[in-house]
């Protein structure tokens, strides 16, 4: 798939005042063309799913948007416009202000993403102080509110725990609480459910939906799980080996997958035994089915 | 890219040493007694030493000695370390403690005295080649402890790994596991150690020769040539005496550093 | 638990030092030219005179027993080659070597750590290129040559040790810190906009601390032997210069003591590495 | 005017100033003289010194009854105003200088001399000085004749008896310190091991200069303990130390270019470099090799094949002279002037070898049994001079088809091989000689340990060794200097003819003396630069 057609796709989909509009070209020193002309946008308050097999470059997209690429010799080109600003032209200092305050990030392995040597409370406080200098009471109030929002107890006992004393699900909630502490306009979740068991994963999906609803937060939801994405997202983008092959509202992806790869993905979805061979064509059907499965209201 | 140019440069230098017989304009022991202490000229590209020997030719021959000696010593050192590390990893905790004790002791004993002892026991009429081989075996065998630690740790980690467990689960004999599973597994560690040790032994030979106990005269080696440092106040006046050797040493050792990873780190 | 751990290490240390001393004694005893004195070449002195100068040879075990008895009573014996009490020699020279080691290796460690931290925090090419280039060049020079060069420049011998220790510390610690900085909790902290200084101090360094401690241990056990050529060429009156002299003179009592001193230093270096790896194991 | 042209003028000016200053007294008194010793002095007791640094300290702090003028090589009165050798060399009577006081203020009397002699002769002290006085067994006795006259008796007759007292520092019988107070120009003020030794002027020193001023002129001497030669030279260049003893040719030439006034080539020293073959009958070497080494024609051929002129020119940069025997041209009294220097004659060497049954097989020399001639030469490791010498000899011998393997080894191992196990074939070492042949007794006598090529013989194995024994005994007991000289001349002739030692070179005595010093008179005899330390001074006043 070549860049021009994607650009047209982009132009067709994006409105005038989107929250984020990005076109990404990324080369790793040992893997040139990790991202080739990946172009998409996110409206304020919208949940966009990013789907692809491992190695297709989905996580690189998250790192690019946050400008967190560490490896030497990595080259990032293109443009990232976020909330009226050009992130690629921003200095590291400006980026630091944006990270965590305007864009939140939730990573895939919750326990590894918490510093094992710091208590939960300390890490929360650090996340708060990174952008605000307020009184301790105010901070505690804010932290309690964020924790409440992700259904965590904000007791002292809990705040004094070390990450190793948390379950994976709790850890993920702590990470989300930290990510939404400053009410960012955009939350990037990089495979937030892949390390979780089915039930916890469903709870977290519900949580994302609620955050989107209650806080009006846009979410870029990166996953390799088509079903959870379909349940949650307004729009879905499909990636394959560094390219964006399709980007469409969730319903259309299932109803009329345009790209052969998308069709392959959809066809590979598991089916309940005894279910009709034909895939449910109506997207609403599917969404309700999935919503029921995930226990969403 | 960097890696291949490093390989090419190193091979070129090694070739220059290996084919010194053809490249060098003079023999390493040839004395032109009428022209000692010359400055560089067309006939003597790097001048001559006190005995009228061509410095350039001696540098080439010295490169050969040092570049062959150091890898050989590194190989010996690794062989000792593997034998010790592999054995103790297999033989259990008691032996492991014993071997780490031996290693600690090796590190604390005055190495210089061990060197003197072994050298003093050698027969007198040994050829230059034999003296090089002996030097190499000696410094190789004496400097095994650092390699032994790393390799021991590597073997240890491997023994705890899943695929060895898998191999045990399938009922393979320990010997077979050692040869078919452990050796290939430990190979990257060995190779990394080898590259790490080669420069160490280039240094060791140099340090030994600075004491006058390395490769014996008139055979040149980098260490022997470095002995010009003893008259160091004369160096600034006659930069051609040591500068080429210094540049060559730093170049070769930097190339060695680049080789294993493909980047200078 | 911790007490038992320490006790185990202490017992091990004492045992190793004792064996090292005995082995050192045996080594000198079997080394060629034990009991030879340069005076034998002096034509003015008769054979009887020279032989009279030499102490009676005793069996190694018996000697070692007497020596240990002496040490228990605070007497290290007398060095035959220097004709002075060994305790006095150690009192004069050990501080010099420890000072060289502390300042030289200390500066090397600090410099290596600093460069590694700078390279991890500011990932600019310059912040890496300078220490990488300098450490590669320093690694390519024998320590004796470094000592001579520093002597020529009129710098103290401790700085030559810095030049020996720095590149190795830098290499290892840069690798350790880079690995620690790659941990996903560090990435997460960066994604929350935490400042680089706080990331280094709170998130990167604590994770790498045990391994950095091991590097300090390595630097000590690496710097100590490197002091031999440095002290020898720089004429720095430390114990390592003494050790070289003692080896050349086959000075049995002195070498036994110095071997023990060396083993203590080596073991302390190892213990630092061991303890930190134990800590590491308990963490995981 | 270029700097190069200016140098001779400056040098001339310096010389003229120095000459002008010598006429009157010293231009200034006081100041601290500094120079380096290579190692720590092993002892501060002047009676048990064997190592060089201790000798330096003993020389500076000790006063003897007589003193050898290192320049004229003649004995001068010191604490004894005059002396008389009695009983053909078995006793000597000293008349002591009066009014002399020890550094602690006690008066110096004949009692102190007797005490000193008793102390030196005491077997418990283990003094090497007693060795020189006691050739053979028997007691050394001192008799006090009067407060100013003392007679010293030795068990055997010694030819140069008075000279022996140059090195014996007189100590006070009343002193409580150990070592006891002495009579030298300086006293030890501070000793910081591994760093330096500080000597202070002895206010009670007996000597006065021509104008009646008390000596020494200098306030103090600082001896830095410094093993590194290059460091020593760097500090000399900076003016931090004032004297350099035993410079090497390379450094000498460099200094000569930089600061011509600061270094001096004093001509041939008494030291020699030599190689010798192992002729010990029981030595663990192949029998056929021992046959070669014991064959005088073989030794003569080797000697003729070595190009000594090249050695002097290349290794010593011209600061050495080819050696033809044990006695250096610098030893005016004892050299046998009739001996011709050994000539470089490879052709003659080949002829000699052919006569002895060796023949060429291609480019290799083989002996009568067809074995290729190859042997090893041991020498001490770390000496650049010896390694270069060996490299040159290696090539010289290659020209006559002999393969020489050079084996450097550390000094103790070398000594063990040449003194005890005899596991060597040939050895190269140097000899530090004193002028008097008495010091060489243990070298030339076949029963001695230092008879290197074949030591500790029960009775002389060859007629020429028997003759050496006889000649050495003769010179040792003869009182008549002429007879001694004749005997020792013959020793030198035998040595040159039989070549038990193949002497290579006598290197020149090269020293450095700071131009800031006045009245320096460096001599080839040790201590070369500071033998007249009591009359040394600085050119500019240094303030007390």
Residue D242 binned pLDDT confidence (cut-offs 50, 70, 90): very high
Pairing of strands D374-380, D403-409: parallel
User: Which pLDDT score, from 0 to 100, does residue A107 have?
Assistant: 86
Per-residue pLDDT tens over the stretch D169-227: 999 988 888 888 999 999 999 998 888 999 999 999 999 888 888 889 999 999 999 88
Cα separation, B139 vs B115, whole angstroms? 8
Q: Tell me if residue A265 falls in helix, strand or coil.
A: helix
Quick: pLDDT tens for A183-197.
899 999 988 888 788
The CA distances from residue B119 to B194, B222, D413, D501, in Å, are 26, 20, 10, 27
Residue that wins the pLDDT comparison between A294 and D115: D115
Mean of pLDDT values over A222-226: 86
The span from the CA of D520 to the CA of D514, in Å, is: 9
Is there a cis peptide before residue C12, judged by omega within 30 degrees of 0? Answer: no
The backbone torsions φ and ψ at residue A78, rounded to the nearest 5 degrees and listed phi first, read 110, -145
Whether the per-residue pLDDT at A296 is higher than 70: the answer is no
Listed by number, the residues of chain C in 189-228 with a beta carbon closer than 8 Å to a beta carbon of chain D are: none
Using an 8 Å CB-CB cutoff, list chain D residues near C45: 50, 128, 131, 442
User: DSSP code of C201?
Assistant: I
pLDDT at D275 over 50: yes
Give chain B's end-to-end CA distance (angstroms, integer): 16
Is C264's Cβ below 8 Å from some Cβ in D?
Answer: no
* pLDDT reported for residue D230: 82
Q: Picking from B54-63, C36-45, C244-253, D236-245, which range would have the lowest pLDDT averaged per residue?
A: C36-45
Contact C202 A126 (CB under 8 A): yes
Interchain touch C–A (≥3 Cβ pairs closer than 8 Å): yes
Element (H, E) at A140: helix A136-149
Does the beta carbon of B22 lie under 8 angstroms from any beta carbon of chain D? no
Cβ of C32 and B120 within 8 Å? yes
CB atoms within 10 A of CB A168: 14
Rg from Cα positions in chain C: 23
The model's confidence at residue B140, banded by pLDDT at 50, 70 and 90, is confident
Question: What pLDDT sits at residue C230?
Answer: 86
pLDDT of residue D505: 94
Of residues D315, D376, D391, nearest to B217 (C-beta): D391
pLDDT tens digits, A61-73: 888 888 887 666 7
Lowest mean pLDDT among A118-127, C266-275, D104-113: C266-275
Where residue C277 falls among pLDDT bands split at 50, 70, 90? low
Bridge partner residues of D191 (DSSP) = D197
Interhelix angle A198-215/A283-294, nearest 10 degrees: 110
Whether the pLDDT of residue D22 is over 60: the answer is no
Report d(CA C273, CA C251) in Å as an integer. 33
A84 touches chain C (CB under 8 A): no
Q: Residue D92 and residue C33: Cα distance in Å, rounded? A: 42
Site from C178, C188, C195 to mutate, A interface, most A CB atoms within 10 angstroms: C188
pLDDT tens, position by position, B64-117: 888 888 888 889 988 888 887 777 766 766 777 777 788 788 878 877 778 777
D321 or D124: which leads in pLDDT: D321
pLDDT for the residue numbered D315: 93
The chain D residue lying nearest C89, using CA atoms, is D193
pLDDT on residue D358 = 94
Q: What pLDDT, in 10s, does the model give residues C43-73?
A: 777 777 777 666 666 788 888 888 888 888 8
What is the average pLDDT value for chain A, to the nearest integer? Answer: 81
pLDDT given at position B59: 93
Residues of C in contact with B239 (CB under 8 A): none
- CA A114/CA A175 separation, integer angstroms: 8
D315-351 pLDDT, tens digit each: 999 999 999 889 998 888 899 988 887 789 999 999 9
Q: Which chain C residues are Cβ-neighbours of A104 within 8 angstroms?
A: 191-192
Q: How distant is the Cα of A173 from the closest Cα of chain C, in angstroms?
A: 14
Preferred mutation among C193, C197, C199, C284 to probe A, highest tally of A CBs within 10 A = C193
Q: Where is pLDDT greater, at D477 or A14?
A: D477
From chain C, the residues in CB contact with B104 under 8 A are 16, 20, 263, 266-267, 270
Check residue D292 and give its pLDDT: 94
Q: Which of residues 227-256 of B touch C (CB under 8 A)?
A: 229, 232-233, 235, 246, 249-250, 252-254
d(CA D107, CA D101): 4
pLDDT band at D18 (very low <50, low <70, confident <90, very high): very low
Helices (H) and strands (E) in chain D, counts: 16, 22
Q: Buried b vs exposed e over A41-78: b needs ≥16 C-beta within 10 Å? A: bbbeebbbbbbbeeebbbbbbbbbbbbeeeeeebebee
% pLDDT > 70, chain C: 92
If 0-12 CB within 10 Å is exposed, 13-18 middle and 19+ buried, where does residue D73 land?
A: middle
Chosen from A66, A68, A70, A188 to mutate, greatest number of chain C CBs within 10 A: A70
User: What per-residue confidence (pLDDT) applies to D58?
Assistant: 93
Are the Cβ atoms of D194 and C40 closer than 8 angstroms? no
What are the chain C neighbours of A101 within 8 Å (beta carbons)?
193
Most confident of A2-16, B132-146, C156-170, D18-32: C156-170
pTM for the full model?
Answer: 0.81
Which residue in the set D314, D391, D424 is minimally distant from B124, CB to CB? D424
Q: What is the mean pLDDT of chain B?
A: 80
Q: How far apart are CA D64 and CA D59, in angstroms?
A: 9
- Looking at CA atoms only, how far is residue C284 from chain A in angstroms? 10
**Tally of CB atoms within 10 A around D137:** 8
Using CA atoms, how far residue D443 sits from A134, B209, D16, in Å, is: 95, 33, 46
Asked if B113 is an interface residue toward chain D (Cβ–Cβ < 8 A), one would say no
Are the C-beta atoms of residues C265 and C221 closer than 8 Å to each other? yes
Q: Does C49 touch chain D (CB under 8 A)?
A: yes
B and C: number of Cβ contacts within 8 A: 113
Residue D410 has pLDDT above 90, yes or no: no
**Among the partner residues C123, C185, C202, nearest to A113 by beta-carbon distance:** C185
Q: How would residue A11 be classed by pLDDT, with cut points 50, 70 and 90? A: very low
Rounded to the nearest integer, the mean pLDDT of chain D is 88
Chain-chain contact of A112 with C202 (C-beta, under 8 angstroms): no
């Amino acid at each position: 798939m070549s860049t021009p057609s994607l650009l047209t796709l982009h132009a067709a989909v994006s409105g005038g005042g989107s929250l984020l509009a990005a076109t990404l070209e990324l080369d790793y020193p040992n893997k040139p063309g990790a991202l080739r002309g990946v172009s998409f946008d996110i409206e304020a308050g919208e949940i966009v799913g990013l789907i692809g097999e491992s190695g297709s470059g989905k996580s690189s997209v998250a790192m690019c948007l946050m400008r967190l690429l560490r490896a030497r010799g990595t080259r990032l080109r293109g443009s990232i416009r976020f909330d009226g600003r050009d992130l690629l032209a921003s200095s590291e200092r400006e980026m630091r202000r944006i990270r965590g305050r305007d864009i939140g990030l939730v990573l895939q392995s919750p326990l590894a993403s918490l510093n094992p040597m710091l208590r939960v409370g300390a890490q929360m406080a650090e996340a708060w102080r990174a952008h605000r200098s307020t009184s301790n009471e105010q901070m505690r109030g804010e932290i309690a509110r964020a924790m409440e929002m992700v259904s965590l107890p904000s007791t002292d006992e809990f705040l004094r725990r070390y990450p190793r004393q948390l379950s994976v699900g709790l850890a993920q909630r702590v990470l989300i609480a930290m990510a939404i502490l400053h009410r960012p306009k955009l939350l990037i979740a990089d495979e937030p459910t892949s390390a979780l068991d089915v039930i916890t994963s469903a709870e977290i999906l519900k949580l994302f939906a609620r955050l989107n609803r209650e806080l009006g937060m846009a979410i870029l939801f990166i996953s390799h799980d088509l079903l959870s994405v379909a349940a949650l997202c307004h729009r879905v983008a499909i990636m394959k080996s560094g390219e964006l092959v399709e980007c469409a509202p969730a319903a259309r992806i299932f109803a009329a997958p345009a790209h052969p790869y998308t069709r392959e993905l959809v066809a590979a979805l598991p089916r309940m035994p005894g279910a009709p061979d034909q895939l449910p064509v109506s997207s609403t059907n599917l969404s309700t089915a999935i919503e029921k499965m995930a226990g969403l209201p | 890219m960097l890696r291949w140019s490093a390989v090419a440069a190193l091979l070129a230098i090694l070739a220059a040493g290996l084919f010194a017989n053809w490249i060098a304009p003079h023999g390493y022991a040839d004395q032109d007694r009428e022209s000692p202490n010359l400055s560089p000229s067309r006939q003597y590209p790097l001048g001559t030493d006190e005995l009228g020997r061509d410095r350039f030719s001696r540098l080439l021959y010295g490169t050969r000695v040092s570049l062959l000696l150091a890898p050989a010593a590194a190989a010996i050192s690794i062989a000792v370390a593997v034998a010790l590390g592999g054995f103790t990893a297999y033989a259990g905790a008691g032996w492991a403690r014993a071997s780490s004790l031996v290693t600690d002791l090796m590190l604390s004993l005055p190495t210089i005295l061990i060197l003197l002892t072994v050298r003093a026991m050698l027969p007198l009429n040994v050829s230059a080649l034999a003296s090089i081989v002996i030097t190499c075996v000696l410094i190789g065998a004496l400097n095994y402890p650092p390699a032994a630690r790393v390799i021991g740790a590597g073997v240890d980690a491997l023994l705890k790994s899943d695929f060895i467990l898998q191999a045990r689960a399938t009922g393979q004999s320990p010997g077979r596991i050692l040869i078919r599973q452990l050796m290939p597994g430990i190979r990257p560690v060995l190779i990394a150690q080898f590259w790490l040790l080669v420069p160490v032994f280039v240094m060791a030979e140099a340090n030994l020769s600075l004491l006058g106990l390395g490769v014996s005269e008139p055979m040149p080696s980098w260490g022997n040539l470095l002995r010009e440092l003893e008259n160091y106040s004369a160096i600034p006046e006659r930069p051609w005496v040591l500068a080429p050797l210094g540049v060559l040493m730093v170049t070769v050792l930097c190339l060695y550093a680049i080789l294993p990873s493909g980047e200078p780190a | 638990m911790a007490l038992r751990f320490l006790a185990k290490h202490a017992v091990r240390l004492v045992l190793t030092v004792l064996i090292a001393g005995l082995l050192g004694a045996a080594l000198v005893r079997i080394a060629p030219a034990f009991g030879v004195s340069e005076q034998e070449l002096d034509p003015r002195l008769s054979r009887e005179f020279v032989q009279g100068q030499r102490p009676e040879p005793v069996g190694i075990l018996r000697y070692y027993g007497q020596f240990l008895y002496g040490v228990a009573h605070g007497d290290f014996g007398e060095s035959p080659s220097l004709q002075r009490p060994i305790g006095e020699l150690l009192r004069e020279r050990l501080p010099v070597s420890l000072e060289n080691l502390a300042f030289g290796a200390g500066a090397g460690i600090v410099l290596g750590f600093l460069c590694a931290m700078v390279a991890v925090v500011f990932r600019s090419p310059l912040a890496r290129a300078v220490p990488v280039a300098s450490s590669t060049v320093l690694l390519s020079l024998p320590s004796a040559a470094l000592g001579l060069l520093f002597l020529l420049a009129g710098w103290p011998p401790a700085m030559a040790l810095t030049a020996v220790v720095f590149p190795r510390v830098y290499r290892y610690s840069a690798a350790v810190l880079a690995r620690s900085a790659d941990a996903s909790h560090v990435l997460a902290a960066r994604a929350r906009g935490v400042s680089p200084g706080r990331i280094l101090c709170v998130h990167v360094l604590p994770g790498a601390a045990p391994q950095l401690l091991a590097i300090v241990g390595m630097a000590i056990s690496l710097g100590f032997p490197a002091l031999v050529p440095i002290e020898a060429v720089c004429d720095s009156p430390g114990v390592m210069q003494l050790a070289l002299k003692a080896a050349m003179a086959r000075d049995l009592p002195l070498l036994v003591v110095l071997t023990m001193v060396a083993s203590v230093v080596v073991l302390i270096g190892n213990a630092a590495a061991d303890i930190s790896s134990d800590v590491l194991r308990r963490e995981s | 005017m270029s700097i190069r042209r200016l140098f001779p003028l400056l040098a001339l000016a310096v010389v003229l100033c120095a000459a002008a200053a010598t006429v009157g007294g010293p231009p200034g008194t006081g100041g601290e003289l500094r120079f380096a010793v290579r190692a720590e002095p092993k002892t501060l007791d002047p009676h048990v010194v064997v190592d060089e640094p201790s000798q330096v300290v003993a020389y500076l702090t000790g006063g003897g009854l007589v003193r050898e003028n290192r320049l004229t090589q003649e004995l001068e009165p010191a604490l004894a105003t005059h002396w008389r050798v009695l009983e053909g060399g078995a006793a000597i009577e000293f008349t002591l200088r009066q009014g002399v006081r020890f550094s602690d203020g006690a008066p110096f009397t004949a009692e102190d001399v007797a005490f000193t002699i008793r102390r030196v002769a005491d077997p418990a002290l283990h003094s090497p000085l007693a060795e020189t006085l006691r050739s053979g067994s028997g007691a050394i006795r001192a008799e006090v004749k009067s407060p100013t006259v003392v007679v010293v008796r030795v068990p055997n007759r010694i030819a140069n008896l008075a000279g022996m007292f140059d090195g014996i520092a007189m100590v006070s019988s009343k002193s409580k310190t150990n070592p006891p107070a002495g009579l030298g120009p300086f006293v030890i003020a501070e000793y910081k091991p591994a760093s330096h030794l500080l000597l202070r002027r002895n206010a009670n020193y007996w000597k006065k200069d021509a104008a009646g001023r008390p000596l020494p002129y200098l306030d103090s001497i600082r001896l830095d303990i410094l093993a590194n030669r290059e460091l020593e030279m760097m500090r000399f260049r900076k003016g931090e130390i004032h004297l350099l003893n035993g410079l090497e040719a390379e450094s000498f030439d460099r200094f000569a270019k930089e600061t011509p006034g600061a270094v001096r080539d004093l001509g041939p020293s008494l030291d020699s470099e030599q190689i010798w073959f192992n002729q010990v009958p029981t030595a663990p070497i192949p029998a056929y090799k021992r046959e070669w080494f014991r064959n005088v024609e073989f030794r003569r051929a080797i000697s003729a094949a070595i190009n000594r002129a090249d050695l002097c020119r290349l290794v010593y940069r011209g600061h050495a002279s080819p050696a033809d025997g044990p006695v250096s041209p610098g030893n005016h009294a004892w050299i046998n002037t009739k001996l011709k220097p050994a000539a470089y004659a490879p052709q003659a060497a080949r002829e000699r070898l052919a006569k002895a049954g060796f023949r060429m097989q291609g480019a290799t020399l083989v002996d009568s049994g067809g074995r290729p001639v190859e042997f090893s030469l041991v020498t001490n490791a770390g000496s650049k001079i010896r390694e270069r010498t060996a490299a040159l000899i290696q090539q010289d011998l290659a020209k006559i088809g002999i393969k020489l393997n050079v084996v450097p080894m550390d000094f103790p191992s070398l000594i063990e091989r040449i003194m005890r196990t005899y596991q060597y074939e040939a050895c190269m070492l140097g000899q530090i000689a004193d002028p008097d042949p008495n010091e060489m007794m243990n070298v030339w006598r076949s029963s001695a340990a230092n008879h290197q090529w074949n030591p500790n013989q029960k009775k002389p194995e060859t007629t020429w060794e028997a003759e050496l024994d006889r000649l050495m005994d003769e010179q040792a007991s003869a009182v008549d200097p002429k007879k001694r000289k004749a005997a020792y001349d013959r020793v030198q002739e035998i040595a040159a003819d039989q070549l038990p030692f193949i002497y290579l070179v006598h290197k020149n005595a090269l020293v450095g003396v700071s131009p800031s010093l006045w009245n320096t008179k460096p001599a080839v005899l040790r201590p070369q630069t500071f033998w007249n330390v009591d009359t040394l001074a600085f050119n500019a006043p240094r303030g007390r």
